[in-house]
Amino acid sequence: MRASRQSLRRLTRAAAPAVVAAHVALMPACATAQARGDEPGARPTRTAADTNSLRRALDSLAQAHRGVVGYSVIDVDGGARLSRRGDETFPTASLIKVPVLVTVFDLVAQGRLSLDDRLTVLRIDKVPGSGQLQYLHDGAVITVRDAAWLMTTISDNTATNLLLDRIIIRRVWEKMEALGLRNTKVHSKTFLRSTSVAMDSSVKYGLGVTTPNEMAVLFERLARGTAVNRSADSTMLDILEHNEDGQMLQRFAGGVRAAHKTGATDAVRTECSLFHLSSRVVACVLTKENVDRRWVIDTEPQVTMARMGEAIVKAWGPPPPPKTTP
């Protein structure tokens, strides 16, 4: 979310139109997710994890970290659950964009919004930080689908604000409360605290707030097809699998398939991921009050989270090879 984030400088103004155009080519994969057998509810062959050893490993990493670490891990297929500070509230940074995404698809499912609805990017809409819409020419027209893709895959702040303008911030609250996630709230548009609908909480937590357990449950619902519906949840998971930030939980995960979203500010690093291992495993790690606030890949919170992701992947092991027929 922060403008100085090193990884966000890779794309240039000249590349911006290509980012939006590339989305058009990638989005059809969403429609084929069910055909691949990847829809929510699919159950691979499971390997039982040693969750006691995993808890000790995760707690050791959390205790050694200079900052506050909370986590929640759910074995979607096996039922195991473990957490640390699971019900404590944390700033989300851009991780709160997942509830925004879920609310968009819920409104589409209700027929109140269409993914093909057009959004015009005006000069007044453009905000700094992550994303490419800020570099497009004034008056550029995209769709709700484009904005959802960019918000999720490259954490585009301008795309997020365009969606929040269209759906209204409080509807995100209502959707999360309907799912039983009463502490999960987006406060304002990105880089525009003046738009906050809960100023005191906004000052304390920034863009959004959640708990490790609540964000993990949201990803569990996506995996089970109960966040919106099976079709919508499958599409959202496909979009999340195209997230380009692999510096945290994904860094030492060995390239395993994962649907995930990250968030970052100076003192905050967050990520929630649905790993496809021998079981489907949700892992959410939220950090706050980090002492190391550098914007480099080896900043302490990112390394801590990378090691936690590595431990989680090792606990369940890789997915089994696909079955072959003679």
Return per-residue pLDDT of the chain as tens, 326 residues: 444 443 433 333 434 444 344 443 334 344 334 333 445 555 545 668 999 999 999 999 999 999 999 999 999 999 999 999 999 999 999 999 999 999 999 999 999 999 999 999 999 999 999 999 999 999 999 999 999 999 999 999 999 999 999 999 999 999 999 999 999 999 999 999 999 999 999 999 999 999 999 999 999 999 999 999 999 999 999 999 999 999 999 999 999 999 999 999 999 999 999 999 999 999 999 999 999 999 999 999 999 999 999 999 999 998 877 766 65
The alpha-carbon radius of gyration of the chain (Å, integer) is: 19
Q: Look up residue 148 and give its two tokens.
A: 């959802």
Amino acid at 184: T
> pTM (2 decimals)?
0.87
- 24's CB contacts (< 8 A; 6+ apart) are 146
- ∠ CA 220-201-192, rounded to 5°: 95
Q: Which residues of 14-40 are buried (b: 16+ CB within 10 A; e: fewer)?
A: eebeebbeebeeebeebeebbeeebbb
Q: Look up residue 309 and give its two tokens.
A: 């992701």
How many Å apart are CA 145 and CA 150, to the nearest integer? 9
Helices first, then strands: H and E counts in the chain: 11, 10
How many Å apart are CA 175 and CA 182, to the nearest integer? 10
Please say whether the beta carbons of 155 and 5 come within 8 A.
Answer: no
Burial of residue 299 (CB within 10 Å: 0-12, 13-18, 19+) is: middle
Please say whether the beta carbons of 120 and 140 come within 8 A.
Answer: yes
Spell out the alpha helix ranges (H) of the chain: 16-26, 28-31, 51-64, 97-109, 144-153, 157-167, 169-178, 199-205, 212-224, 230-241, 300-316
How many Å apart are CA 284 and CA 153, to the nearest integer? 18
